[in-house]
A and B are shown apart, each in its own frame.
Chain A
């Protein structure tokens, strides 16, 4: 018998598979496009270095699904200054920053996914400018330099990214023409003390875009450029998610309850978390099933009065971040 005989036999026995019909292909392509456009925007022009083989696999794939959507914008701002980045690589999973403390953010993910306390962790600056967190016992790859324990990413930029990506009040929430998109971004820049930032738009003719009712392109994506203190609005194909999806209903409820509108109330983050969990359960979104993840961001100034302010972003999982913001 030749070395190839078994392989050849298997080749002959390859099960025939009926290819998907064109309607299915179109449906899946549309779903992917919707995901891409919701996920937004720009990544660095050089790929992140591959993590070393045999690295410890910290987190379940759901974390990557849950986090990478919102992290995509974060990598766009990683290179020049790690303080203005909005993403962290926890081991081999990229997550969106929440608190600004990369070790705290990765520790929270570890607890959520493994149900145990993480080992001692250390934050590093990677050769591409990214912020990485690894177990202290693990030798960092070449080119990594340890960041001081006091290192923090800028909370205002992290919050700006989250607000602009919010599904019920951010750029993905409706078809925004250029004027409306600029107004929305400008309001957030003012609120977050980033009034010296500018807003620019990428011309629609550089890429295909959905037309809004006003006739102009839909600016559904924003890339943050802290180095030049600007928000770049990018026209996109695609439409806002259907309003009757559970995560949309939850996000709208959170916005009306805690952010804007006549029902708005100021409550501590813990109370908002309990209320949000109840509402999510009623809508069929279950944490234990990986449908939804709640993240709490305490106030940087715990002494002052604060109100809970939730944001909702959606990738493979709905992520609700509830921040304590000054009253």
Chain B
């Protein structure tokens, strides 16, 4: 059964049976669409998702055979499309702010208090994300929002894993500075010892 095959096996098989590549689409389309939606909104995701898979199909011979999960590779293609997409936009239109407020966190173990606190911080976090180097932002969002490992981020961004670590370190420091600043602003938004805002 083709559906039991790993991504690697399917992509290899698609060299001689191109239609099998559609199963890669079936497996990962929603994840790629969500990844794009979190960065450019649903309209942008709708227009870029198909292109991501068309390019992936064309470039399937460049897929390395030692990776059983093709999602980081697909994120890498989508990420390149995003860069081209953004290049044509004004800075304001590239901002994460245009995505609007966060309505909820999908983490099941969040308490209501956690969620309210995090939402209150969202405008400042957006600002921090918008002002950090885009290379650093790409890494921290792939780790935090797409839950990729460092190795997977390295695949997606086509950079060495050491570069992932250093970019993530910079991105964290940037956010840390912001969070510390918020903590010093007064009692309206006191912080817990692990940096969370509790009020």
A contact set with B: CB distance below 8 Å: 1-3, 5-20, 24-25, 28-29, 31-33, 35-37, 39-45, 47-48, 50-51, 53, 61, 64-65, 68-69, 72, 75, 92, 94, 207-208, 236-237, 315-316
Asked whether A12 lies within 8 Å of B15 as measured between CB atoms, the reply is no
**Can you offer 22 A-B residue contacts whose CB atoms are under 8 A?**
A3-B172, A5-B196, A6-B140, A10-B144, A10-B175, A12-B107, A13-B102, A14-B106, A15-B99, A16-B102, A20-B45, A24-B46, A28-B25, A29-B22, A39-B18, A39-B57, A41-B18, A47-B63, A48-B61, A48-B62, A64-B59, A207-B19
Asked whether A25 lies within 8 Å of B29 as measured between CB atoms, the reply is yes
Q: How many residues of B contact A (CB 8 A)?
A: 69
Which residue on A lies nearest to B193, using beta carbons? A1
Given contacts A10-B141, A35-B54, A68-B59, 9 further A-B contacts (CB under 8 A): A6-B171, A6-B175, A9-B196, A14-B145, A20-B30, A32-B25, A33-B19, A72-B58, A316-B51
Q: Which residues of B contact A41 (CB under 8 A)?
A: 18
Contact residue among B60, B103, B144 (Cβ-Cβ distance under 8 Å from A11): B144
B81-134 at interface with A (beta carbon < 8 Å): 84, 99-100, 102-107, 110, 114-115, 118-119, 121-122, 125
Contact residue among B22, B58, B179, B195 (Cβ-Cβ distance under 8 Å from A315): B58
Q: A45-B12, A45-B15, A237-B19 are in contact. Are A31 and B50 (CB under 8 A)?
A: yes
Asked whether B196 lies within 8 Å of A47 as measured between CB atoms, the reply is no
Asked whether A50 lies within 8 Å of B19 as measured between CB atoms, the reply is no
Asked whether A9 lies within 8 Å of B125 as measured between CB atoms, the reply is yes
CA distance A28 to B25 in the complex (A): 9
Asked whether A47 lies within 8 Å of B158 as measured between CB atoms, the reply is no
Verify if B185 is at the interface (C-beta below 8 Å from A).
no
8 pairs of A and B residues whose beta carbons are closest in the complex: A10-B144, A43-B15, A68-B58, A17-B37, A5-B195, A12-B118, A6-B175, A1-B195
Q: Which residues of B contact A236 (CB under 8 A)?
A: 19
CA distance A136 to B189 in the complex (A): 61
Q: A32-B53, A36-B18, A69-B58 are in contact. Are A20 and B140 (CB under 8 A)?
A: no
Asked whether B106 lies within 8 Å of A13 as measured between CB atoms, the reply is no
Verify if B151 is at the interface (C-beta below 8 Å from A).
no
Asked whether A12 lies within 8 Å of B61 as measured between CB atoms, the reply is no
Asked whether B19 lies within 8 Å of A6 as measured between CB atoms, the reply is no
CA distance A43 to B105 in the complex (A): 44
Asked whether A7 lies within 8 Å of B38 as measured between CB atoms, the reply is no
Asked whether B102 lies within 8 Å of A53 as measured between CB atoms, the reply is no
Asked whether B195 lies within 8 Å of A6 as measured between CB atoms, the reply is yes
Closest-CB distance, B170 to chain A (whole angstroms): 11
B contact set with A: CB distance below 8 Å: 12, 15-19, 21-22, 25-26, 29-30, 33-34, 37-38, 42, 45-46, 49-51, 53-55, 57-65, 80, 84, 99-100, 102-107, 110, 114-115, 118-119, 121-122, 125, 140-141, 143-145, 147, 158, 160, 171-172, 175-176, 179, 193-196
Asked whether A7 lies within 8 Å of B172 as measured between CB atoms, the reply is yes
Asked whether A12 lies within 8 Å of B18 as measured between CB atoms, the reply is no
Q: Which residues of A contact B18 (CB under 8 A)?
A: 36-37, 39-42, 72
Q: Which residues of B contact A10 (CB under 8 A)?
A: 125, 140-141, 144-145, 175
Contact residue among A6, A61, A75, A94 (Cβ-Cβ distance under 8 Å from B179): A6
CA distance A266 to B84 in the complex (A): 42
Q: Which residues of B contact A5 (CB under 8 A)?
A: 176, 179, 194-196
Contact residue among B104, B107, B179 (Cβ-Cβ distance under 8 Å from A1): B179
Q: Which residues of A contact B30 (CB under 8 A)?
A: 19-20, 25
Please indicate which of the listed interface residues A1, A19, A208 has the most CB atoms of chain B within 10 Å of its own CB.
A1
Closest-CB distance, A79 to chain B (whole angstroms): 12
Which residue on B lies nearest to A316, using beta carbons? B54
Asked whether A44 lies within 8 Å of B102 as measured between CB atoms, the reply is no
Which residue on A lies nearest to B197, using beta carbons? A9
Closest-CB distance, A77 to chain B (whole angstroms): 13
CA distance A5 to B80 in the complex (A): 28
